[in-house]
């Protein structure tokens, strides 16, 4: 898989949509760069743009957007609530998929050098790309904002990393770097007081506040949440004060922890949190973790679908209070993936059956096996969720929730395999259609056929493994679950056995034409073992089910 790097430039313009459109158009014109999100803020007079791509694409798109911003935004006339130093204030690179922090540091260095040389804008490196500890923290570089650059830039300790130590009055400075995913997140309060909002921010943020003891000596009181930066402000367009936060390391402080910290502080100070607002995009896992967190607080099973966990997170955090929250537009993975066309798993039951019954050879037995397996483990998951919510069983909700989560995990992988199996078959057909006029073409065609065949073996073999794992969920539910649903666990076991056996048949038939005998023999031997285990597991579960009926 190719590397995916995210870039999140912040532009000092949030009121003129035409200017922002010209900037984002410059990004979209770069092949390999995908614009993910644009978040304009009138009160802050700032726009956060998010795009992603490979290393070369994101650097080129970042440069073009900064160049366009330097042509359209004059910092001499800029004002807004958010701290800023330049027309493009900050431009971080973030590793998303198969990319390292080192890759992102290299992006920042390439961009900084080019911006300084071609646009004559002084550039500072921050976070992981910082050249000194003093420059690691964005707030330290930005201190004094645009208005203080002229005096600050001539100081030896604030010589730019790239470019001359000379004030660019029109464009200010650029701050670029590499960092972990940062979640820009605002919590809404039922007050218009910036002072009160700041009191909550000081409680929550890692930096905390300065306090005086009985003797008038000033000391530092740290805040509650690690890796959180926060300030309070009033947003006129909403008519509310907010705690505006940057969560710089969600491993230390997840979004739901920051939210609840604001809830606690606000309540203690006579206020109430009414909802929250996400600026830009958020990783899927952050939303799933939040959904599970709020379900656990209710002692409810977290073994629900991905879509339901996302919905729970949205409602619990109040992300839709100020504006609609569309997951397909706000969750990074969903935006990057986009709308995938013609997926079998997105068809209705009727259209899926019709497609299977058509004259087309795909979907075939492999896809059906994966889907039957998904249905089987779904039944076990259903029993777990029903048992978790059963009256009088409250002390065991977590036991059943854990099994339900495991069932959901297997179900999602099996559903993915439905389309993977059909894609694997199509790859074989494509390989067979390759030209074979010359010896070189014949050799390339043979190699492609063998590679596609090996993949067509691996997919159903993986289905066998997953469906076999589902017996753990089904057995636990047959033995421990709600006795009124024991028959559902039994049907699930029948489905799981069918999935394993059906996938086994596909492994066997696809192996026939594979020339790699060592690989083939190893896979077939393991497949035989899995099939034997599945048949034994099915028998054990059905004995339990029959005894309880």
Contact indicator for 246, 262 with CB cutoff of 8 Å:
no
Class at the top of the CATH hierarchy for domain 4-178: alpha beta
- All CATH 3.30.990.10 domain ranges of the chain, comma separated, are 4-178
- All CATH 3.30.70.670 domain ranges of the chain, comma separated, are 183-337
Backbone phi and psi for residue 319, each to the nearest 5 degrees, phi listed first: -70, -15
- What are residue 186's DSSP bridge partners? 244, 277
Q: Report helix, strand or coil for 188.
A: strand
- According to DSSP, residue 407 is labeled H
C-alpha distance from residue 218 to each of 210, 212, 214, 221, 222 (Å):
6, 4, 10, 10, 13
* CA geometry: angle 60, 40, 208, nearest 5 deg: 95
Peptide bond preceding 363 in cis form (omega within 30 of 0): yes
**CA proximity to 183, closest of 387, 330, 1, 393:** 330
Give the residue ranges of the chain where pLDDT is below 70. Answer: 1, 339-342
CATH code of 183-337, in short, is: 3.30.70.670
Q: Which residues are catalytic?
A: 82, 421
Predicted pLDDT of residue 281: 84
Predicted pLDDT of residue 341: 62
Contact indicator for 258, 243 with CB cutoff of 8 Å:
no
**Cα separation, 325 vs 328, whole angstroms:** 9
Q: Do you know the residue count of the chain?
A: 549
**Cα separation, 130 vs 132, whole angstroms:** 6
Tens of pLDDT, residues 369-412 = 999 999 999 999 999 999 998 888 888 999 999 999 999 999 99
**Cα separation, 318 vs 274, whole angstroms:** 7
Residues 6+ apart with CB under 8 A from 305: 408
Tens of pLDDT, residues 34-83 = 999 899 988 889 999 999 999 999 999 999 999 999 999 999 999 887 88
Predicted pLDDT of residue 340: 62
Contact indicator for 249, 186 with CB cutoff of 8 Å:
no
pTM: 0.77
Backbone phi and psi for residue 53, each to the nearest 5 degrees, phi listed first: 170, -170
CB count within 10 Å of CB 459 equals 23
- All CATH 1.20.120.680 domain ranges of the chain, comma separated, are 348-548
**In CATH, what is the architecture of 348-548?**
Up-down Bundle (1.20)
Contact indicator for 236, 43 with CB cutoff of 8 Å:
yes
CB count within 10 Å of CB 98 equals 12
């Amino acid at each position: 898989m190719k590397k995916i790097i995210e870039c999140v430039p912040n532009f000092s313009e949030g009121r003129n949509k035409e200017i922002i459109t010209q900037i984002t158009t410059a990004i979209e014109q770069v092949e390999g760069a995908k614009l993910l999100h644009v978040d304009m803020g009138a009160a802050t007079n700032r726009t956060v743009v998010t795009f992603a791509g490979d290393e070369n694409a994101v650097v080129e798109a970042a440069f073009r957007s900064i160049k366009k911003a330097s042509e359209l935004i004059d910092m001499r006339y800029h004002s807004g609530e958010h701290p800023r130093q330049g027309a493009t204030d900050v431009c971080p690179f973030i590793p998303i998929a198969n990319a390292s922090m080192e890759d992102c540091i290299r992006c920042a260095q390439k961009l900084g050098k080019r911006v300084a040389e071609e646009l004559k804008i002084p550039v500072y490196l921050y976070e992981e790309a910082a050249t000194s500890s003093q420059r690691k923290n964005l707030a330290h570089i930005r201190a004094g904002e645009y208005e203080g650059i002229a005096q600050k830039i001539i100081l030896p300790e604030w010589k730019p990393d790239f470019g001359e130590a000379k004030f660019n009055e029109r464009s200010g400075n650029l701050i670029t770097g590499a960092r972990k995913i940062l979640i820009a997140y605002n919590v809404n309060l039922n007050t218009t007081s910036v002072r009160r909002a700041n009191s909550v921010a000081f409680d929550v943020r890692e930096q905390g506040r300065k306090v005086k003891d009985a003797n008038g000596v000033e000391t530092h009181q740290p805040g509650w949440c690690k890796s959180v930066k926060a300030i309070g402000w009033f947003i006129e367009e909403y008519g509310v004060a907010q705690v505006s936060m940057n969560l710089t390391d969600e491993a230390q402080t997840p979004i739901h922890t920051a939210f609840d910290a604001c809830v606690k502080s606000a309540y203690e100070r006579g206020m109430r949190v009414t909802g929250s607002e996400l600026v830009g995009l958020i990783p899927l896992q952050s939303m799933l973790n939040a959904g599970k967190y709020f379900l656990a607080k209710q002692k409810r099973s977290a073994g629900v679908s991905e879509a339901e966990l996302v919905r729970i997170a949205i409602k619990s955090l109040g992300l839709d209070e100020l504006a609609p929250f569309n997951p397909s537009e706000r969750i990074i993975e969903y935006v990057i993936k986009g709308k995938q066309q013609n997926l079998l798993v997105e068809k209705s039951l009727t259209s899926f059956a019709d497609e299977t019954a058509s004259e087309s050879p795909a979907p075939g037995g492999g896809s059906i096996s994966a889907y039957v397996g998904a249905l089987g483990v779904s039944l076990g998951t259903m029993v777990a969720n029903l048992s978790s919510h059963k009256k009088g069983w409250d002390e065991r909700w977590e036991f059943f929730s854990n099994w339900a989560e495991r069932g959901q995990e297997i179900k999602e992988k099996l559903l993915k395999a439905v389309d993977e199996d059909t894609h694997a078959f199509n790859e074989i057909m494509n390989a067979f259609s390759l030209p074979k006029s010359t010896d070189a073409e014949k050799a390339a065609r043979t190699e492609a056929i063998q590679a596609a065949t090996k993949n067509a073996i691996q997919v159903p073999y993986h289905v066998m493994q997953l469906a076999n794992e589902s017996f753990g969920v089904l057995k636990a539910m047959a033995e421990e679950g709600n006795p009124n649903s024991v028959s559902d666990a039994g049907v699930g076991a029948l489905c799981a056995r069918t999935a394993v056996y059906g996938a086994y048949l596909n492994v066997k038939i696809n192996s026939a034409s594979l020339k790699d005998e060592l690989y083939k023999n190893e896979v077939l031997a393991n497949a035989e073992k899995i099939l034997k285990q599945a048949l034994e597991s099915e028998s054990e579960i059905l004995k339990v089910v029959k005894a309880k009926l």
